[in-house]
Amino acid sequence: MPYLKRVKHIRDRVDNILVLALPLRKIRVRDLMNSVWRRPVIVHEDETLDEVVDKLAQCKYSRIAYVVDDKSRLKGVISLGMLMRVLYRKHRARALSAIATSSILKIYASEKASEIASRTIYYAVPEESLDSVLHKMLVHDLKEIPVIDENKRVIGELWIIDLLKARMLSKKKHLRQLSENL
């Protein structure tokens, strides 16, 4: 029995070493984008919160809206959670002060995307390694990350699941190569 435990321990250690040595650092964002490209939700900084909600509702897969300026450069990010907190907070404050519902809707229609967008933006670029992007997403607890070009225009988005799938496929390929060399 001690022998089997030792073998399992060695296998676990080897597997962990292989996972750490995966060539994700060699794969670039542009390589993955070709196979998992999604159209990101883009809103102009002058669009109202109603319009942001409409665009997010039309997109069944994204929980993030990227706020851009007149030159389509990324200026901020609005997550669905952030939008819900802002709308709830404003609705609750206005409901407590007994403002009519029609007034609340007018206020929502007048607020701009730029007013609630987060200015802290983490992004990836096409030439960046998947290893670097995965690290960035894990450190900052991101589920989605925009991919921008040299002019800061959003050209796509990656999800954490895309990177994890790439990591698993890379691991399987690496293990297959090792077994062929034995």
CA 126 to chain centre: 15
Spell 50-75 as b/e; 16+ CB within 10 A means b. Answer: ebbbebbeeeeebbbbbbbeeeeebb
pLDDT at 19: 38
* Architecture of the domain whose range is 24-175: Roll (3.10)
Tell me: the pLDDT tens digits for 114-166? Answer: 988 999 999 999 999 988 998 999 899 999 999 999 999 999 999 988 888 87
Banded model confidence at residue 90, pLDDT cuts 50, 70, 90:
low
pLDDT at 6: 47
Alpha-helical regions (H) of the chain: 2-20, 29-36, 49-58, 80-96, 101-110, 113-116, 130-139, 160-181
Tell me: the pLDDT tens digits for 23-41? Answer: 667 788 988 887 777 789 9
Which position has the higher pLDDT, 87 or 16? Answer: 87
Q: How far apart are the first and last CA of the chain?
A: 27
